[in-house]
């Protein structure tokens, strides 16, 4: 089940976002209490994005347990009417629920929602290419690896990492069932 993130999700989100293995490839470190407060404030407020930079945050529940969260961020407005035409997808899941299809099912529903509710031309996901689970998820979603930029992201603790950019066009998503 997908639903908005609530303040009482703090313990569950805090549990997996405090794990350095979970956040190893994310743009934020393992969260302490202050970091979790900041993240929770943003997730709870992310209910109705309408302009560039705003997010929709959704909790993923299975049998009453929060197993992860998803984000859709309106990223750019290149359309003639200046409405957002590109959005970015992101996800974080508890490792104890990995490999059970929850991320694929939830991200598929979020993509459906994004293309149904917004006049988007494309969706994208940016990730560390060493994050093989997220790369495989992008591929299962029908996204195309469009770029691999080298050493463009400063790592925590020094050094540089690469970025993989996956994309999905509206017409590709709409034609997925018709075989055209």
Mean pLDDT of 62-88: 88
Percentage of the chain exceeding pLDDT 70: 95
- pLDDT in the model for residue 79: 65
- Return the pLDDT at 80: 67
| Cβ atoms of 88 and 125 closer than 8 Å | yes
pLDDT digits (tens, 9 = 90+) for 133-145: 999 999 999 999 9
Residue-range domain boundaries for the chain: 2-123
Q: What is the pLDDT of residues 32-74, one digit of tens each?
A: 999 999 999 999 999 999 989 999 999 999 999 999 999 999 9
21 CB-near residues (< 8 Å, 6+ apart) = 95
CATH class of 2-123: alpha beta
Report helix, strand or coil for 125: strand
């Amino acid at each position: 089940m997908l639903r908005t993130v609530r303040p009482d999700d703090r313990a569950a989100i805090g549990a997996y976002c405090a794990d350095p293995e979970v956040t190893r490839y994310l743009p934020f470190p393992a969260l302490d209490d202050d970091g979790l407060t900041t993240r929770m404030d943003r997730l709870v407020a992310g209910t109705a994005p309408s302009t560039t930079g705003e997010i929709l945050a959704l909790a993923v529940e299975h049998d009453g347990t929060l197993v992860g969260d998803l984000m859709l961020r309106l990223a750019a407005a290149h359309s003639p009417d200046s409405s957002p035409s590109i959005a970015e997808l992101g996800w974080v899941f508890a490792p104890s629920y990995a490999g059970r299809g929850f991320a694929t099912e939830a991200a598929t529903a979020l993509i459906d929602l994004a293309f149904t509710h917004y006049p988007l031309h494309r969706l994208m996901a940016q990730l560390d290419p060493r994050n093989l689970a997220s790369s495989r998820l992008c591929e299962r979603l029908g996204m195309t690896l469009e770029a691999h930029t080298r050493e463009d992201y400063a790592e925590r603790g020094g050094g540089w990492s690469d970025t993989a950019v996956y994309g999905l066009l509206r017409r590709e998503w709409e034609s997925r069932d018709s075989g055209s």
